[in-house]
């Protein structure tokens, strides 16, 4: 297994708060009906692609990515809980982790952040209180409120910095993770990469 796949697997296995990824809402294909593109889902339902999102890739019923395919190379998901992974740069990555549980199941932003920092602490051989928080604050994703935290990790001798944006709704949640390999600080390049990743994320909420 490559280093990049091991990084992604280690990160997601530690950061997942629940164990119910949105498998039923996964996209299995597309078709054209009366000249309009429709998206086919694993639960045998379908939906017309939203107007204005013809160039977006539907990842689940709720989630689409609208990046330029010539700039954002899509990688095979490193594991089954990652809906999709993209990279516009050899050292910068974006990945989505949607789950079908949310606030009604008792999840909250504090537990999400604690899980992220606990992973970093385990990887660094220290405690949560000793993990530097490089950035923390409120953001907006496709019109919905979310929170972002950034922290450094040393995974098997490889330094990297994660930014994780956590979005919680009543019955679903989403982690939007970006990471930068070979660094120990949050660079301006990574900040820009994360902000662009959020801007290219579209949520098809009711």
Going from N- to C-terminal start, the domains of the chain cover 3-203
Predicted confidence band of residue 101 (pLDDT cuts 50, 70, 90): confident
Average pLDDT (163-187) is 94
The predicted structure's pLDDT at residue 28: 56
Across all residues in the chain, what is the average pLDDT? 82
Write out pLDDT tens, residues 104-158.
999 899 988 898 899 889 888 899 999 999 999 999 999 999 999 999 998 888 9
Q: Is 131 helix (H, G, I), strand (E, B) or coil?
A: coil
Name residues whose C-beta falls within 8 Å of residue 14's C-beta, 6 or more positions apart in sequence.
115, 118, 119, 122, 123
Report the topology of domain 3-203: Protein Transport Mog1p; Chain A (3.40.1000)
Between β-strands 27-33 and 46-48, what pairing exists: parallel, antiparallel or unpaired? unpaired
Is 181 a residue whose pLDDT tops 50?
A: yes
> How many other C-beta atoms are found inside a 10 Å radius of the C-beta of residue 54?
10
The C-alpha torsion from 63 through 69 and 74 to 80, rounded to 10°, is 20
Write out pLDDT tens, residues 58-84.
888 888 999 998 999 999 988 888 999
Predicted confidence band of residue 44 (pLDDT cuts 50, 70, 90): low
The predicted structure's pLDDT at residue 182: 95
In degrees and rounded to multiples of 5, residue 112 shows phi and psi of -60, -50
Predicted confidence band of residue 191 (pLDDT cuts 50, 70, 90): very high
Supply the Cα-derived Rg of the chain in whole angstroms.
Answer: 17
Average pLDDT (10-35) is 54
The pTM (predicted TM-score) of the whole model is 0.81
Q: Is 135:146 a contact under the CB 8 Å cutoff?
A: no
> How many other C-beta atoms are found inside a 10 Å radius of the C-beta of residue 27?
19
The predicted structure's pLDDT at residue 124: 86
Q: What is the DSSP string of 13-54?
A: HHH-SSS-B-GGG-EEEEEEETTEEEEEETTS-EEEPPTT-T
The predicted structure's pLDDT at residue 26: 66
């Amino acid at each position: 297994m490559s280093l990049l796949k091991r990084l992604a697997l280690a990160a997601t296995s530690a950061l997942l708060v629940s164990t119910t990824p949105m498998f039923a809402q996964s996209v299995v294909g597309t078709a054209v009906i009366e000249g309009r593109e429709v998206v086919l889902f694993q639960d045998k339902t379908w939906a017309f692609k939203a107007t204005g999102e013809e160039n977006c890739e539907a990842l689940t019923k709720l989630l689409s990515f609208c990046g330029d395919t010539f700039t954002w190379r899509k990688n095979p998901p490193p594991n089954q809980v990652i809906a999709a992974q993209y990279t516009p740069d050899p050292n910068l990555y974006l990945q989505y982790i949607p789950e079908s549980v949310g606030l009604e199941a008792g999840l909250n932003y504090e537990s999400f952040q604690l899980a992220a920092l606990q992973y970093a602490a385990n990887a660094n051989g220290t405690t949560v209180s000793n993990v530097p928080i490089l950035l923390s604050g409120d953001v907006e994703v496709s019109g919905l409120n979310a929170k972002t935290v950034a922290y450094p990790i040393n995974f098997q001798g490889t330094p990297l910095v994660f930014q994780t944006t956590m979005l919680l709704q009543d019955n679903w949640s989403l982690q939007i993770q970006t990471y930068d390999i070979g660094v120990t600080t949050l660079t301006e390049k990574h900040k820009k990469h994360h902000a662009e990743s959020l801007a290219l994320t579209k949520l098809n909420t009711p």
